[in-house]
């Protein structure tokens, strides 16, 4: 009896196909995210279609200082700024800092969804038309 010849695929084809299956597609940072030149502060804007209410979340790399008095099971990462209310400290296990996000140079502004943020060497200042705002830096933070 005659045996069928085995089917052979070239090694390079198999290696290429395997690599394509294992490597995720490169993804760009969200156009709704930005960071300061130091890389220590980053923000992401979520519009109402994502979360039900628009908000801006800004984090500082090593957490809020001074640490808020409230209890937090994870880390005090930064500040969340809802559209209709005063900003407040954020207790989270993730971060809004994205190393691929667009850098807003010192003196530059970012504006979206009624928020305006000013990048400064001393930190980040964000406000809304309703008078609420935040200031965030490595060594201090303030909401108003």
pLDDT by 10-residue block (mean), the chain, 144 residues = 46 34 45 95 90 91 96 96 94 96 98 96 96 96 97
The token duo for 23 is: 């490597």
* Contact (Cβ atoms closer than 8 angstroms) between residue 43 and residue 34: yes
The pLDDT of residue 87 is: 98
Predicted structure pTM score: 0.77
The token duo for 55 is: 């908000």
CA atoms within 13 A on the CB side of 117: 27
Going from N- to C-terminal start, the domains of the chain cover 33-143
The pLDDT of residue 144 is: 96
């Amino acid at each position: 009896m005659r045996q069928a010849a085995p089917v052979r695929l070239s090694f390079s084809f198999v290696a290429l196909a395997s690599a394509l299956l294992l490597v995720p597609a490169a993804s760009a940072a969200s156009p709704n995210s930005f960071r300061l030149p130091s890389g220590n502060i980053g923000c992401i804007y979520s519009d109402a279609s994502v979360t039900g209410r628009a908000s801006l979340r800004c984090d500082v790399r090593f957490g809020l200082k001074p640490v808020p008095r409230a209890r937090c099971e994870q880390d005090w990462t930064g500040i969340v700024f809802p559209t209709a209310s005063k900003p407040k400290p954020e207790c989270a296990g993730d971060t809004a800092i994205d190393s691929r996000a667009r850098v807003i140079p010192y003196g530059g502004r970012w504006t979206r969804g009624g928020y305006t943020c000013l990048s400064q060497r001393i930190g980040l200042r964000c406000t809304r038309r309703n008078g609420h705002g935040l200031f965030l830096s490595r060594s201090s933070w303030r909401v108003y």
